[in-house]
Amino acid sequence: MTHICKNCNHHYKGNFCSNCGQKADVGVFSFHHIFHEAIHAFTHADKGFLVLLKKLIVSPGIVAYEYIVEGKRKKFFNPFTFFALIIAIYAFVENRELNIKEEIFQVNNEYGHVFNFLSKAYLLLSIPLLAFIIWLLHYKKSKLLYSEYTVLSMIIISQLSIFNILVKIGNYCLTLFFHSSKGLDENIFYPILMVLIITTTVFQFHKRLHKQNLAKSFVCGIGYIAIEISLSMLTIWAFLRHFNGLGIFYMYGINISGN
């Protein structure tokens, strides 16, 4: 039986493309496939990291569409591996930002370290939550599975993490050179930019599937911000409960005990 490769359009026979090596049957993104790719992400590394980085900055929705819908799996650096590497870089940069603030302002912000640790867990938790919002708004027209939207959500979170890495580097420089305690992520434009990033990516992705409603894409962005706020409020509530109402003040270096 002759196949047409979904990745390079080469005509071939057999189970693998004789031109690029992609499997004949790429299938849909089931949760079994997601688990397999997640394991692969921590045990392998391929070429093209910087190429995918550039494409996620310029045209993330198109990258997601080609990878998920068109089945061009060999064209891109493995997004699961990319996600793992980006999160590792983000964790390093975020930790360096906190350390320089402790050094400059002579404080021991142990709660900041806890928040930094929890932020990585929040990134993982936000993937299925954001995927559910996107799926709920689009599944009737797109006919895509929730598991496929989970992959799209992971790509979006990777993209947001790239943005946050740049923000954290900016915060580090502001603290180091100007002794500023205020970060770029404490600006009103920060959540606005995050909403715009998500809106653009979701719109680009669905524009190729059907006539996309920009309002739905915007709701996805707002939904992500709502998730972030909810998780942050949950963490603050936990600190307040555990430290009898004082944890939130100590977290920001405010001593209200009078000692």
Beta bridge partners of 3: 12
- Using one digit for the tens of pLDDT, what is the confidence trace for 7-61? 889 999 888 888 988 888 877 778 877 887 777 655 555 557 888 898 999 999 9
- Using one digit for the tens of pLDDT, what is the confidence trace for 196-255? 999 999 999 999 887 778 999 999 999 999 998 888 888 777 766 665 544 444 544 544
Which helix (H) or strand (E) is 68 found in, with range? helix 60-68
| Amino acid in the structure at residue 184 | L
Q: How far apart are CA 225 and CA 133, in angstroms?
A: 12
Q: What is the pLDDT of residue 248?
A: 47
| Amino acid in the structure at residue 123 | L
Q: What is the pLDDT of residue 45?
A: 52
In whole angstroms, how far apart are CA 92 and each of 79, 87, 89, 95, 98? 20, 9, 5, 5, 10
**Claim: this prediction has a pTM higher than 0.85:** no
* Mean confidence (pLDDT) of the chain: 85
Burial 90-119 (b: 16+ CB within 10 A, else e): bbebbeebbebbbeeeeeebebbeebbebb
